Copies of this chain bind each other. A is one copy, B any other.
Amino acid sequence: MHSIKIDPWSSENLNDYEHIFREFGLEKFPDELSKKLNHILFERNLVIAHRDFQKIMACMEVKKPFINITGIASSGRMHFGHKVDLDLFLFFKSKKAKNYFAICDLDGYCSRADAKVDSLMKAKEFAIENLSHALALGLTQKDVYLQSNKPAKYYSLAFEVSKKITENNYRAIYGDINLGKVSAVLLQMTDILHGQLNEFEGKMPSITGIGLDQDPHARLVRDLSKKSQYDFEVPSFIYFKHQSGLQEGQKMSSSQENTAIFLSDAPEIAAQKISKAFTGGRVGVEEQKKLGGQPEICKVFEFQLFHNENSKEVNEIYSTCKAGNLLCGACKQKLIKWTNDFLIKHQKKLIKAKEKAIEIVETKK
């Protein structure tokens, strides 16, 4: 049995979920919970695994506080793939969590090549863009923080945890030692842990939604929480599927314009991208009518699955497609309509949100 190395910096797609669950000791997300948690990402089995989610469940059931922590690297524009992180965050926010949404400007600058982010100011420009979207999607100023603008204790913890990571440990997870990426790792560990310091909320369970490819980070931070001089609850994680790119075999990526619909894309641009998306359609109309479509491999259907909250509509698309009664052109029109409605509504909120975001990020040099 050979070992699969999950590299958080790689952009490869992951398929062999079961294998990975076994190898890393992840638990499959329980079906009974998926049904119980009233949110499409759970109901549609897009959240596939967890570590210690029962601790969060217990808090939610008795309305005890827990920390809701996630973040977004400020190194590119925000697309619908990122929205999944936001959707999960907003779900836990609605469950009365203590909210920590990190705008990762420092991390974005330190870990990305200069060709992509050549200064902290550039990372702050991305921060403004990303924060605008986060606010427009329903976060408030109180829910968010900028990595470059925290109290001293946050940074102190970042340096303190460094002492508990050996070179071998680091290398096994991340491969090469690049000091900028070391910084990014320290900041990410601290994002997860700092809410539990007495200076913030104090010791309590925390939940973070990540992709499977981020599990090495999760294992490291869980390990650090046990080794720390502070009394930390071991952080919990849930693992969601990544929405794939609009073309076949590609990841949705900020750096590849046509793989993603960006939250700032003009509706007509989104429409163009959807028109060109890879579908599960057959070679011709006749065959499509005879055999039915293949929503399982269709990027247009996948988009509906991740984002359209109207389950009746999504189910209908699925069944009419399978039955050969929905052709790809018409189906794409449905998604174009949904996406355009969403973008128009979202982008209307974006103007005010951006003013607020600028105020929060304070671009002053």
CA distance A365 to B182 in the complex (A): 27
In the complex, A217→B160 CA distance in Å? 21
Interface residues of A in 144-200 (CB under 8 A from B): 148-153, 155-156, 158-160, 162-163, 165-167, 170, 176-180, 182-183, 186-187, 198
Chain B nearest Cβ from A166, distance in angstroms: 7
Number of copies: 2
Give the docked Cα–Cα distance between A112 and B180 (Å): 22
Interfacial chain B residues near A150, Cβ < 8 Å: 152
Residue of B109, B155, B170 near A179 (CB, 8 A) is B170
Rounded to whole angstroms, the CA-CA distance of A182 and B167 in the bound complex is 11
Contact A163 B183 (CB under 8 A): yes
Interface centre among A114, A149, A160 (most CB of B within 10 A): A160
- Report whether A183 and B155 are in contact in the complex, using a CB–CB cutoff of 8 Å: no
- Specify which chain B residues have a CB less than 8 angstroms from the CB of A119 in the assembled complex: 229
SS of A interface (majority): helix
Task: Tell me the complex Cα distance, A248–B218, Å.
Answer: 52
The answer on a CB contact under 8 Å between A180 and B155 is no
Q: Are A156 and B106 in contact (CB under 8 A)?
A: yes
Residues from chain B with a CB closer than 8 A to the CB of A127 are none
Q: How far is the CA of A167 from the CA of B159 in the complex (A)?
A: 18
For chain A, which range describes its interface: under 10, 10 to 19, 20 to 34, or 35 or more residues? 35 or more
What residues on B are CB-neighbors of A229 within 8 Å? 118-121
Contact of A160 among B110, B163, B165 (CB under 8 A): B110
Contact with B along A119-138 (1 / 0, CB 8 A): 11100000000000000000
Cα(A162)–Cα(B176), bound, Å: 15
A149 partner, pick from B118, B121, B152, B179, beta carbons under 8 A = B152
Pair A177/B183 contact, Cβ less than 8 Å: no
Complex CA gap A219/B187 in Å reads 27
User: How far, in Å, is A240 (CB) from chain B's closest CB?
Assistant: 28
Within the complex, what minimum Cβ distance (angstroms) separates A142 from chain B?
18
Interchain CA distance A150-B229 in the complex, whole Å: 22
* CB proximity of A116 to chain B, nearest CB, Å: 12
- Min distance, Cβ A190 to any Cβ of chain B, angstroms: 11
In the bound complex, CA of A229 to CA of B106 (Å): 14
**CB-nearest residue of chain B relative to A123?**
B160
Chain B residue numbers with a CB within 8 Å of A158 are 155, 159
* A163-B180 CB under 8 A given contacts A120-B156, A198-B365, A229-B120: yes
Q: A118-B229, A152-B152, A165-B179 are in contact. List 14 more A-B contacts (CB 8 A).
A: A106-B160, A109-B159, A114-B163, A120-B156, A152-B155, A158-B159, A159-B186, A159-B187, A162-B180, A163-B180, A166-B179, A167-B179, A177-B177, A179-B182
Residues of A within 8 A of B (CB): 106, 109-110, 114, 118-121, 148-153, 155-156, 158-160, 162-163, 165-167, 170, 176-180, 182-183, 186-187, 198, 229, 365
